[in-house]
């Protein structure tokens, strides 16, 4: 069993596990009781998708996918920050206090 075979098998197993992780996280997004749970699960989904894209980069050998993974991590961070600010401002405005 050469190193290339080991790499192919390992990336396949890792892709299956990361796909399962994404499915489980999507279940939490659907059933999440509060908005904060959904935002947290979306953040988790972005990190898992970043790992998925990194694994695809290893499997195909195209290192351009790594840039996509880094951009995805940046996007997930900004989305979580924006949604947290939105949760805060929505609660403040629903109570009638000034922003």
36 makes contact with other proteins (CB under 8 A): yes
Site for other proteins in 56-85 (CB under 8 A): 57-58, 63, 66-67, 69-70, 73-74, 76-77, 80-81, 83-85
Angle between helices 35-60 and 64-94 (to 10 degrees): 180
**Closest approach of Cβ 54 to other proteins, in Å?**
5
- Distance, CA of 14 to CA of 36 (rounded, Å): 29
CA 14 – CA 95 distance, rounded (Å): 47
Give residues 6-25 in contact with other proteins (rule: CB under 8 A): 6-7, 10-11, 13-14, 17-18, 20-22, 24-25
Within 10 Å of residue 1's Cβ, how many Cβ atoms? 6
- Cα–Cα distance for residue pair 68/41, rounded to 1 Å: 20
User: What are the structure tokens assigned to 57, written together?
Assistant: 């980069």
Q: List residues near other proteins by CB under 8 A.
A: 3-4, 6-7, 10-11, 13-14, 17-18, 20-22, 24-25, 27-28, 34, 36-37, 39-41, 43-44, 47-48, 50-51, 54-55, 57-58, 63, 66-67, 69-70, 73-74, 76-77, 80-81, 83-85, 87-88, 90-91
């Amino acid at each position: 069993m050469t190193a290339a075979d080991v790499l192919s098998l390992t990336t396949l197993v890792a892709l299956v596990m990361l796909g399962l992780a994404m499915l489980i996280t999507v279940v939490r997004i659907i059933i999440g009781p509060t908005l904060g749970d959904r935002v947290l699960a979306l953040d988790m989904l972005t990190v898992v998708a970043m790992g998925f894209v990194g694994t695809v980069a290893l499997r195909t050998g195209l290192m351009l996918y790594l840039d996509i993974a880094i951009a995805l991590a940046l996007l997930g961070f900004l989305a979580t920050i924006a949604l947290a600010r939105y949760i805060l401002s929505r609660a403040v405005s629903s109570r009638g206090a000034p922003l």
